[in-house]
Structure 1
């Protein structure tokens, strides 16, 4: 069965964090529940957003067959309560290239303790470099994950899935899924509102044909908005 629909969701509004680009030290205004400064908690407003989004996702048609989420706990609250969270590191936060190491997600056992629906069995398709990525490398990472997730979804007979992620990855997913990758990454095309929902439907759901485009990096062109 071809995968017809991919829903893309960004996490709710969260507390701020910052990084000293000379030392690589991360700090946050509010203590993170995981102890990782780049993993700040949702604000009260963000929690309300996430609750509303989780309820809305449970009503979608076609219904969601599987949930893939960044390991960051800020995204897990937007997942319907009945869903199993498949932690996909390939849709983790984007950090720019740097001479220092960026924070890594919390260990699976820690996140499982916070969110019982967090799967410890799922194996990620890709993990980003701890030294960050260029924009081209972000596209390549997202493209590889899309291919892997589509392949897995079709093997499991899934018709629709949701990807819960971060702002830069929301935009990259839109560009990769549609094949509309601008020459400049600064082009304003796909929106990434907090707890925003984007829906992508397959161009040819009857055949499941895969189309590819290859500007400066290979990206998947399977879906249209």
Structure 2
């Protein structure tokens, strides 16, 4: 069975903005590699972080054997130096599996959020992609965004699928690396450990840029967090920490009581 799950948030990226009334997204760069405004590349600082991350990941035990990533460009760009090093040393088998279930979180809205790039769009930019893996449609978030509880449900489906797939892998890999986003990384920590706070805004699992978390499976088959977004290997230390603040939705549910219902389900 898979024994260790490493989870990393993408490195420092460029920004975008959205008009909450019209749902129009704008990239601060004026354009992105995939043409999607919510899919910016890393900044030069982020590129440095990705290289420092690669140096560190190549030293972890057990070594990374499988890799999954959110479909967004910044996540794959973060992983690229790591994959290059691991592939050169023969430490990882297969390409990066694109999994929409660990993709970005967009709050519930009355407008449509941009769709992440497809494998076809990403292949010209990255050479180490698994062309045979297909993310189950059940893991894909709604185009109109999600409530926080829906994010957790989506991440649980994706992680259950990843763990089952690796447990059934005839080569019996011991570890996997996932690259994702801030909100998704927090949700993953809660889903894996079963530690779901009453208030989703609780600052529990950390998600610094290029920060690495480690979850270990114990003898009872449960997951324990033994490293919570470690940044000791980054020259800039911990940056861009994030947590839910109750204002992630673009829709006002204050009159319906839905927000309270959502918190009670967590």
Aligned ranges for residues 13-162 of structure 1 at < 5 Å?
Answer: 13-30=12-29, 31-79=31-79, 80=82, 81=84, 82=87, 84-125=95-136, 126-156=139-169, 157-162=172-177
**Which aligned segments of 4 or more residues in structure 1 are displaced greater than 3 angstroms?**
none
SS of the residue 1:147 aligns to: helix
RMSD: 1.2
Larger Rg: 2
Q: Give the whole-Å Cα distance in 1 for the aligned partners of 2:73 and 2:53.
A: 15
Deviation for aligned residue 1:76: 1.3
Q: 2-side partners of 1:162 and 1:197: how far apart?
A: 10
Moved more, 74-83 or 184-193: 74-83
Partner of 2:207: 192
Q: Secondary structure at the match of 1:109?
A: helix
Task: Output the TM-score relative to the length of structure 2.
Answer: 0.76
Q: Contact (CA 8 Å) 1:109, 1:120: kept in 2 or not? A: no
Q: Distance in 2 between matches of 1:49 and 1:118?
A: 21
Instruction: After TM superposition, give the deviation of residue 120 of structure 1 in Å.
Output: 2.2
Equivalent pair of 2:5/2:178 in contact (CA under 8 Å) = yes
Structure 1 residue 71 displacement after superposition: 0.6
Question: Deviation of residue 197 (structure 1)?
Answer: 0.1
Residues 34-75 of structure 1 show CA distances to partners (whole Å, capped at 9, x for unaligned) of 111101111000000011112222221101110000011111
Displacement of 1:123 in angstroms is 1.2
The alignment's TM-score, normalised by the length of structure 1, stands at 0.90
The Cα offsets for residues 143-166 of structure 1, whole Å up to 9 and x where unpaired, read as: 111110000011111211011000
In 2, Cα distance between the equivalents of 1:127 and 1:51? 30
Q: Which moved more, 1:70-79 or 1:89-98?
A: 70-79
Structure 2, gaps ≥5 residues long:
226-266
Q: Distance in 2 between matches of 1:148 and 1:107?
A: 20
The aligned residue for residue 239 of structure 2 is: none
Worse overlay, 48-57 or 94-103: 48-57
